[in-house]
Structure 1
Amino acid sequence: MQYQTILKKMKTELNDVVQYYLDVENDVLNLNQLLGREIEISFEGYQCLCCGKEKKIFRQGYCYDCFYESAAVGDWIMNPELSRAHLGIEDRDLEYEKEVQLKPHIVYLALSSNVKVGVTRKTQVPTRWIDQGATKAIEIVEVPNRYLAGITEVALKNYVADKTNWQKMLKNEVLEADLIEEREKLKAYIPEEAQPYFLGNNGNVTEIEYPVVQYPTKIKSLNLEKTPVYNGKLMGIKGQYLLFEDGIVFNVRNNEGYKVIITVR
């Protein structure tokens, strides 16, 4: 079976085991069903996810020009504390920014390699946690806009990590931690403006299982520009990574906008 596609991040569904789906030309591929199969990935070129032109991808599936012009990749995406739509101040497109920033946001703790703090729109729970390869996650605050979530994350990352060790996450080298207990420790450090939104009564810890037959012990990332044709046996999927038997891992999200042919044997 052969599929052509312009890569976009895998869609996910939280069940007993996370289900992964990849949009391919005129179809959707359930990747869980491909575990144990030989898969060839052949790099064919680029297509910007914003302008649609066949231009080299710069970051996040966008060409250089679109990355610095599109409202969808403003600085406030990676740094929520820079959000200004609640003040009526435009970054690149105020209407778009209001639409995204002035919605309920969650600040959370996730356990992926270690305990980390993060921010996501409420509508992106639990998708964001799955994309990070978290095995457990819990909400800390639910605030009405992205700015409040951003300043809360900035305050809390003085006391807890805000990054995942992606290699440990993929090897399943995950520290044990009581997320409810960790949340209680952080309560005192939440900014005054966000204190009323603390979710102290929420004891729900989301647990996430991934479709992995075999975790790698050594890891090497697949770079399609250096290795335009790769063939390997799929042994697992975690976060936005495909895990292969030979220790090669492929970050689908980091390759958004890449045109590929996927052959399943």
Structure 2
Amino acid sequence: MAHPYTAFLKLTFIFIVIASAPELGGSKQTFTFVNYCKETIWPGITHNDNFTSGSFILKPCQSQAFTAPSGWNGRIWARTGCNFDKNGSGKCQTGGCGTGMNCSAPASPPSTLAEFTLGEIDYYDVSLVDGFNLPIAVQAVNGTGNCSSAGCDGDLRQNCPSQLAMKDNGKVIACRSACDVFKTDEYCCTGQHGDPGTCLPSNYSKSFKSVCPVAYSYAYDDPTSVKTCSGADFVVTFCGSRNQTLPTSHDNQRPCNASKAYKAIPQSWWVLMLPLAFMFNSWIAS
């Protein structure tokens, strides 16, 4: 019979292995938001079938995690210039989603939207179809497949056509879409222009595409915009770059150090630990 202390060591080791391993089966996926902007933002997160969601504040250089259930599909964006009272009522300059801190409606244009459809294959993109308010980049971590980065890391506010500019006190705070401004079938890809053959890039969407080459610039801009991956977690950065190194808590050289580190653990980690557990078990038994 093994000594009680020996049995305790064995149970402790097995507990550490199980507790330290990531969740198996890929049923949930983690989104980590990082704010590289110089301003505070209020990220919006809504399911495509239900606009009710929680909310949180993300100050410059802060990060926050969100766990999405299996099969989640929805949109993520930044609200800017928000002012909420103690009851959570108020409004935002851009990206508003109702009259409260918690979203009760889709994002109001102009808003840069990160869109996700999770499943056996995950589809994701960043869309400027509803205009632009802040740069957004999406990076897939530890997935399989193409898994390339999506997003618009250029700042369209600096290049916004005058007809589309949304201003506050003379400052451009967002760039509207041509559809939102002119409301024609040609720009909105509706009516006689409601299919890929008749809805073509406009001069406005081309100007968006020149700054953000891998983001949706109009409704049928699929080939260069939609990315795919399987089993990945995602890092969504506001005012960041599609190609930048992900932040870590020890990376003091970065211009904006996230308050919470994002360091993904490979899904195969727990598999490597199982043989060690069996070896330890045999050692204890001897």
TM range (shorter): under 0.3
Higher relative contact order (Cα pairs below 8 Å, separated by 6+ residues): 1
Report the TM-score when normalising by structure 2: 0.25
Report the TM-score when normalising by structure 1: 0.26
Q: Which has the higher strand share?
A: 1
Find the structure with the greater CA-based Rg: 2
Q: Which has the higher helix share?
A: 1
